[in-house]
C-alpha cells in the first residue's frame, strides 16, 4: 500500500469528505491532495538537486498535515516539532538537521536570541506563505520526486541520554507497511473505511503516526484534540461529543484521565468501536473499565518503540484475557516482525525467560540521524533461525525493554536502563540530569521516578548545590525549575526537587538510585 496513492484515491472518490478536523477548521481530501501537491512543487523548485530535511513546526494545524504530505511528494524527509518544545530543543533540532526550510504554522520563538556563534540559517515559511503557495494554481507536483520506499520519510526526535535529543529516521516503506498492518488492528480494513479517528498525541510523538496515517489511508476523518483542551474536562467532553470518534488512539494515561469522569462512557460516545493503545503499560483496571463502559467497543494493546515505526505487536484485551493475565501481555508480533529475547551477552533466551527485547523486521528505523555510534550500539546484527533450522543474519534493534515470550505472546516487564515513560512521554533520566548540571550552582544531580500501579507518576530530582541554606530551598527549587523549563519540555521537569549534601554511591561508584528511591518512602 502506498500512502500518497491512497490519499489521491480518496480525493478522487469523495473529494469533499473531511480528512482533518480541528477546532472549527476542516480540510477535505481534495484540498489536502491539491495543497500538498502545490507545496511539493514549491519545495521541489527550491531544492532541485538536493534532498534536505524539512522541519515542520506548529501544533496540530491542518497545514502541518499538508506539509507532511508535501514533503513525501517532494521526496524530502520531514521532522515534526511541536510548540511545547522549549527554544533550546528547537535550536538543537534545527542545528542537527540544518533544515533549509521551516514550515511553520505558529510563530517560531526567536532562536538567535542570546546566541553568539549559532545563527538560524533556514528560511521560515509562515502559515500565510504556506496558504499562498497552496492557492497558487501555477504549481504542479512532479510525481517522479516522490519518496521511494528506502528514502527517509520522517525523523522524530526523542529524549537522548546525553542531554541532546536524538533523531529516529523512518523510511517511507516502513511507514506504508506499518499503516497496512495498522488497518487490520481490532477490525478489518474495510470496517475502518471512512471512520472518525481521534488524535490525542502531538505530531512530534510517534503515537500520532498511528491515528494520522490509519485515518488517511482508510479515507477517514482525523478528529484532532489540541493540547489545551485535554486539560479541561468540560470543553474536552463537549469536543468528544461533537467529534463522536469511532476509533480512539491514545496513551492509556489519557484514557485514564477521561475515565476519571463517570460520564465517559458509551452513552457519551455511542459510536465508539475500537480503542487502540500504545506507548506505555495498559493496566488491567483501565482495560476492564473501558470494556464495562463501552460494551460495544474492542480494546487493543500494542507495543513498540519509535525505532520500529510506532508498534509491532498487538493483542485484543477481552474479559477472558483480563481474567487470565495480570499484568496484561503486549501482544504477538505483526507479520514481518520477529521478536527475540536476549541475555546481557546477546544470546537468545528460551520461552518464559526474561531478557532484553530485540526487534527485527521490515519496519525498523534505518538508525539515528547523523549519529553512527548511537546507531551501532542500538541496531546490531543478530541471527534468526527458521523452523527448518536455516539461520540468517539480520539487524536487531535492542530496545532496552525487558520482557519475555510465552508461545509468541510478548510480556513487558519494564526498562533495563534509565529511560522511563511519564504520561506516555519517553524520557531519558540522564537527559534531565545533564541539563540540571548546566544550571548555575548545581554540582551533582540524580533523577529518580516514583511509581503508582507499576507506572511512573512523578519525577524527583536529588540535587547537590554549591551553597545551600535550608531556608532558601524552596526559592532555589523554583529557580531550578524555571531555568530547566528553558532547556526541556514541561513534561520533563521534575515535580519535586530535593536538596541533599551528597548523592549516595554504590560500591562501584555509580549513583545509588535504589537508596534515593528509598528516601522517597
Ligand atoms: P516511544 O518510542 O515513545 O514510543 O517509547 C517506546 C517505549 O515505550 C518502549 O520501548 C516501551 O518501554 C514503552 N512502551 C511502548 N508500548 C508499550 C506497552 N504497550 N506497554 C508497556 N510499555 C510500552
Mutation test residue for ligand 1: of 306, 401, 428, the one with most atoms within 8 Å of CB = 401
Same domain assignment for residues 481 and 389: no
CB of 476 closer than 6 angstroms to any ligand 1 atom: no
Does residue 319 belong to any structural domain of this protein? yes
Question: Atom of ligand 1 at shortest distance to CA of 357?
Answer: 10
> Ligand 1 within 6 A of 281 CB?
yes
- Asked whether residue 245 falls in the same domain as residue 151, the answer is no
Closest CA to 258 of 266, 76, 23, 411: 266
CATH number at residue 356: 2.30.38.10
For ligand 1, the distance from its centroid to the CA atom of residue 280, given in whole angstroms, is 5
Q: Do 195 and 156 lie in a common domain?
A: no
Residue owning grid cell 538536493: 50
Is the CB–ligand 1 distance for residue 31 below 6 Å?
A: no
Q: 118 and 208: one domain?
A: no
Do residues 438 and 473 share a domain?
Answer: yes
The tens digit of pLDDT for each residue in 24-55 reads 889 999 999 999 999 999 999 999 999 999 99
Residues 203 and 116 reside in one and the same domain: no
Q: Do 189 and 280 lie in a common domain?
A: yes
| DSSP codes of every residue in 278-314 | -SSPPPHHHHHHHHHH-TT-EEEEEE--GGGSS--EE
| Distance between CA atoms of residues 62 and 224, nearest Å | 9
Do 145 and 288 lie in a common domain?
A: no
Average model confidence (pLDDT) across the chain: 95
Give the DSSP letter string of 183-206: TTSSS-HHHHTTPEEEE-S-TTST
Torsion of CA 94, 96, 101, 106, to 10 degrees: -30
pLDDT of residue 452: 86
The domain that holds 499 is classified in CATH as 3.30.300.30
Q: Give the three cell numbers for residue 43.
A: 519545495
Q: Give the mean pLDDT of 317-332.
A: 97
Does residue 330 belong to any structural domain of this protein? no
Q: What gap in Å lies between CA 397 and CA 380, rounded to an integer? A: 7
CA gap 359, 309 in Å, rounded: 11
**What domain count does the chain have?**
4
Check residue 215 and give its pLDDT.
98
Q: Which domain holds residue 513?
A: 426-519
Are residues 189 and 166 both part of a single domain? Answer: no
Question: Which positions ≥6 away from 199 have C-beta within 8 Å?
Answer: 60, 208, 211, 212, 215, 222, 223, 224, 225, 249
Q: Cα 499 to chain center, whole Å?
A: 33
Task: Compute the distance between CA of residue 413 and CA of residue 95 in angstroms, rounded to an integer.
Answer: 36
pLDDT value for 127: 98
Distance CA 169, CA 161 (A): 18
125-139 pLDDT tens trace: 999 999 999 999 999
Considering the domain architecture, whether residues 190 and 246 belong to the same structural domain is answered as yes
Is residue 470's pLDDT more than 80? no
Statement to judge: residues 122 and 215 lie in one domain = no
What is the Cα gyration radius of the chain?
23
Q: What is the pLDDT of residues 415-464, one digit of tens each?
A: 998 899 998 899 999 999 999 999 989 999 999 999 888 789 999 999 99
Element spanning 381, H or E: strand 379-385
Amino acid at each position: 500500500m502506498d500512502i500518497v496513492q491512497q490519499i489521491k484515491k480518496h480525493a478522487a472518490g469523495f473529494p469533499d469528505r473531511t480528512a482533518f478536523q480541528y477546532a472549527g477548521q476542516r480540510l477535505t481530501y481534495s484540498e489536502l491532495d491539491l495543497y500538498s501537491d502545490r507545496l511539493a512543487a514549491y519545495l521541489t523548485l527550491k531544492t532541485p538537486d538536493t534532498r534536505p530535511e524539512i522541519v515542520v513546526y506548529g501544533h496540530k494545524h491542518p497545514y502541518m498535515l499538508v506539509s507532511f504530505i508535501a514533503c513525501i511528494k517532494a521526496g524530502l524527509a520531514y521532522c515534526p516539532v511541536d510548540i511545547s518544545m522549549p527554544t533550546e530543543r528547537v535550536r538543537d533540532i534545527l542545528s542537527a538537521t540544518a533544515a533549509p526550510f521551516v514550515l511553520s504554522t505558529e510563530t517560531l520563538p526567536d532562536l538567535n536570541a542570546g546566541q553568539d556563534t549559532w545563527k538560524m540559517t533556514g528560511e521560515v515559511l509562515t502559515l500565510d506563505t504556506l496558504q499562498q503557495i497552496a492557492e497558487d494554481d501555477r504549481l504542479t507536483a512532479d510525481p517522479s520526486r516522490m519518496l521511494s520506499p528506502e528514502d527517509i520519510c520522517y525523523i522524530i526526535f526523542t529524549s537522548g541520554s546525553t542531554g541532546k535529543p536524538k533523531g529516529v529516521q523512518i523510511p517511507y516503506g516502513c511507514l506504508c507497511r506499518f499503516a497496512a498492518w495498522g488497518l487490520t488492528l481490532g477490525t478489518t480494513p474495510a470496517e475502518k473505511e471512512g471512520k472518525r479517528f481521534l488524535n490525542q498525541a502531538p505530531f512530534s510523538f510517534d503515537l500520532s503516526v498511528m491515528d494520522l496515517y490509519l485515518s488517511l489511508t482508510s479515507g477517514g476523518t482525523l478528529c484532532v484534540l489540541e493540547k489545551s483542551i485535554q486539560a479541561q474536562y468540560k470543553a474536552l467532553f463537549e469536543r468528544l461529543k461533537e467529534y463522536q470518534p469511532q476509533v480512539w488512539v491514545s496513551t492509556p494515561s489519557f484514557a485514564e484521565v477521561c475515565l476519571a469522569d463517570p460520564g465517559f462512557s458509551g452513552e457519551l460516545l455511542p459510536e465508539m468501536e475500537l480503542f487502540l493503545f500504545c506507548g506505555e503499560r495498559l493496566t488491567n483496571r483501565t482495560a476492564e473499565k473501558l470494556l464495562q463502559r463501552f460494551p460495544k467497543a474492542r480494546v487493543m494493546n500494542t507495543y513498540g518503540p519509535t525505532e520500529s515505526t510506532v508498534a509491532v505487536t498487538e493483542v485484543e484485551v477481552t474479559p477472558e484475557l483480563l481474567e487470565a493475565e495480570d499484568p496484561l501481555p503486549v501482544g504477538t508480533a505483526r507479520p514481518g516482525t520477529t521478536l527475540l529475547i536476549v541475555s546481557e551477552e546477546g544470546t537468545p533466551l528460551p520461552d518464559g525467560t526474561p531478557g532484553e527485547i530485540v526487534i527485527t523486521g521490515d519496519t525498523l528505523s534505518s538508525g539515528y540521524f547523523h549519529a553512527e555510534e548511537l546507531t551501532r550500539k542500538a541496531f546490531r546484527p543478530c541471527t534468526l533461525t527458521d523452523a527448518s533450522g536455516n539461520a540468517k543474519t539480520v539487524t536487531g534493534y535492542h530496545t532496552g525493554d525487558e520482557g519475555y515470550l510465552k508461545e509468541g505472546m510478548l510480556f513487558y516487564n519494564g526498562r533495563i536502563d534509565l529511560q522511563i515513560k511519564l504520561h506516555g512521554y519517553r524520557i531519558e533520566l540522564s537527559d534531565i540530569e545533564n541539563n540540571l548540571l548546566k544550571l548555575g550552582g548545581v554540582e551533582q544531580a540524580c533523577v529518580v521516578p516514583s511509581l503508582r500501579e507499576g507506572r511512573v507518576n512523578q519525577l524527583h530530582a536529588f540535587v547537590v548545590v554549591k551553597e545551600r541554606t535550608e531556608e532558601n530551598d524552596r526559592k532555589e527549587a523554583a529557580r531550578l525549575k524555571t531555568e530547566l523549563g528553558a532547556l526541556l519540555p514541561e513534561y520533563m521537569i521534575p515535580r519535586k526537587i530535593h536538596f541533599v549534601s551528597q548523592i549516595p554511591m554504590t560500591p562501584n561508584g555509580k549513583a545509588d538510585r535504589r537508596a534515593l528511591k528509598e528516601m522517597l518512602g
